Copies of this chain bind each other. A is one copy, B any other.
Amino acid sequence: MKNAVGREIPDDILKLTGKEVFHGNCYYDGYEYKKAGPRIKCVIRSGGDKLVDSIHEVLLKCEIKDGMTLSFHHHFRDGDFIVNMVMKEVHKMGIKNITICASSLGKAHDCLVECIEDGTITNIQSSGVRGKIGRAISEGKLKGLAIMRSHGGRVRAIETGEVHVDLAFIGAPTCDDYGNCRGIGGKSNCGVLSYSVVDGDYADKVVAVTDCLVPFPNFPAHISMTKVDYVVVVDAIGDPKKIAAGAAKPTKDMRKLMMAEYCTQFVINTPYFKDGFSYQTGVGGASIASTISLARIMKERGVRMRFGVGGLTKPMCDLLIDGQADVLLDTQDFDLDAVESVKDLKHYRISAGEYADPFNKGAVVNKLDFVILAALEVDVEFNCNVVIGSDGMLAGAQGGHPDTAAGAKCTIVIVPLLQGRIPVIRTEVTAVTTPGESVDVVITDYGIAINPRRRDLMQCMEKVDLPFKTIEELRDIAYSIAGEPDRVAFEDRVVGIIEARDGTVMDVVRQVKPFVFD
């Protein structure tokens, strides 16, 4: 069955998952449902602690068994030790058929491929997968399905009960003996624990894993002791050097700086650029550069930002430090400056649910004026792909892309027209993750296309001196330079689905056919 972005979703996948096809961003607006509830084991006795000696012992206490769903958060990014530490033990115990429900998985987790190959892990739910795991899934090694969810969509899936987490593992930079976790302090400081809040709220068993035990009460707790069953102290939960190394340095690439300047010029010519506006940007070089150039114009014109949201980096935190932004709302820290900034009294932690969940009573993304995003591919309907590489391999993550794009009044995607010799703007994307209805402007190094749905923005830009083109013109330029890209050859087998934030199917991920020379 074809969905609202024109992707054919096989009926057997709809039947297997019980899902609907994507019907458009607001299809579920106003929908009523009953939230799920976890199983709780009461702790009424006074005193005591929840300390358990090892991961092995805590798995026994949690009565680990075949078929369980284990959840993890990704605030330690490429420096994460928790997933491997737990799964190594699960593997050793001979447990099979585990579903991993992670807020994201990355290069730190390459060694899980062994667990995928031998059936320890049979299902993966994540914002995305990179490195060897992505390749393993795309090559058909995962026995079950990979489900790629946005950050908001993950919260939705857990709170509706679509996913029931049996055991949640929360890596805590500091924790007390009763389970109060903070993202701050210790040797693996990651700033916030936003993605794991929903795990604490909905998992049956919650295990805090820390390498820095502190006196009770470790307040203000980012995850409360009231949600935590056990605390395990280990030598190290992460590699500090890799935790906050995600963000690009301010770019010197002239092409990126040019796109950043286009972006800033576009932003300031919209009606949303006024005192009290709100803003989010990604961590790409051009995005970061555009924050820096926007800050300059804000200062010149005396325009203040009411709130900045993210996935935060130094340039966003500088806005707070320089008094150009009233507050920051933080779900994740990409660099050490952002981790450090969490101490600022106007730098507030928010949960992934507060940030982006489409199934609560209103998330922060609904209040965004601007979001500046990147993409792997954009098609002529403005649909974006951020999950599958142009070679067909799973290699990216939805993150907050579909959430912020849907919420923001003005969604700007900055992409180079070509990535190497591969057209980024194209007739058809390899997979759709963010629907074109969410994307208002695409900025490339060869020109800027406004989504025809946004006549209002086109009107605003009538007298603005920027290289506007249609999206088809941009595609044609790309094709004229690099040729029309061949379609990736896929097998029939569906190895994963790309879920829309409301749980419908945006697209499927198919097994990649081994490349054969003609």
Chain A interface (Cβ < 8 Å from any Cβ of B): 25-26, 28-48, 50, 178-179, 206, 215-217, 219-220, 224-229, 276, 306-307, 327, 329, 348, 353-354, 357-368, 406-409, 502
Contact of A37 among B28, B35, B219, B365 (CB under 8 A): B35
Given the interface pairs A219-B327, A224-B354, A226-B360, the reply to whether A365 lies near B40 with Cβ below 8 Å is: no
- Secondary structure at the A interface, as helix, strand, loop or mixed, is loop
Give Cα distance in the complex from A174 to B504, angstroms: 37
Q: Please tell me if the beta carbons of A29 and B47 are within 8 angstroms of each other in the complex.
A: no
| B residues in contact with A224, CB < 8 Å | 354
Q: Please tell me if the beta carbons of A217 and B31 are within 8 angstroms of each other in the complex.
A: no
Q: Please tell me if the beta carbons of B42 and A31 are within 8 angstroms of each other in the complex.
A: yes
Give Cα distance in the complex from A29 to B360, angstroms: 32
Contact of A359 among B42, B227, B409 (CB under 8 A): B42
Give Cα distance in the complex from A39 to B37, angstroms: 12
Q: Please tell me if the beta carbons of B307 and A217 are within 8 angstroms of each other in the complex.
A: yes
Q: Please tell me if the beta carbons of A26 and B44 are within 8 angstroms of each other in the complex.
A: yes
Q: Please tell me if the beta carbons of A229 and B361 are within 8 angstroms of each other in the complex.
A: yes
Given the interface pairs A306-B216, A348-B220, A353-B226, the reply to whether A360 lies near B42 with Cβ below 8 Å is: yes
Q: Please tell me if the beta carbons of B220 and A46 are within 8 angstroms of each other in the complex.
A: no
- A48 to chain B: closest CB distance in Å? 7
| B residues in contact with A306, CB < 8 Å | 215-216
Given the interface pairs A226-B362, A361-B229, A367-B216, the reply to whether A29 lies near B48 with Cβ below 8 Å is: no
Q: Could you list 5 A-B pairs, sorted by A, with CB under 8 Å?
A: A30-B44, A42-B358, A46-B367, A219-B348, A226-B357
Interface centre among A36, A45, A225, A362, by most chain B C-beta atoms within 10 angstroms, is A362
Given the interface pairs A216-B306, A217-B327, A225-B362, the reply to whether A41 lies near B31 with Cβ below 8 Å is: yes
Q: Please tell me if the beta carbons of A45 and B33 are within 8 angstroms of each other in the complex.
A: no
Interface centre among A42, A219, A366, by most chain B C-beta atoms within 10 angstroms, is A42
Give Cα distance in the complex from A219 to B47, angstroms: 33
Given the interface pairs A179-B362, A357-B226, A362-B225, the reply to whether A30 lies near B41 with Cβ below 8 Å is: yes
| B residues in contact with A215, CB < 8 Å | 276, 306
Query: What 9 pairs across the A-B complex have the smallest Cβ distances?
Result: A35-B37, A226-B360, A43-B362, A29-B44, A46-B366, A219-B348, A46-B407, A37-B37, A44-B358
- A34 to chain B: closest CB distance in Å? 5
Q: A28-B44, A29-B45, A217-B348 are in contact. List 9 more A-B contacts (CB 8 A).
A: A25-B44, A35-B37, A35-B39, A50-B361, A178-B362, A215-B276, A226-B353, A226-B361, A229-B361
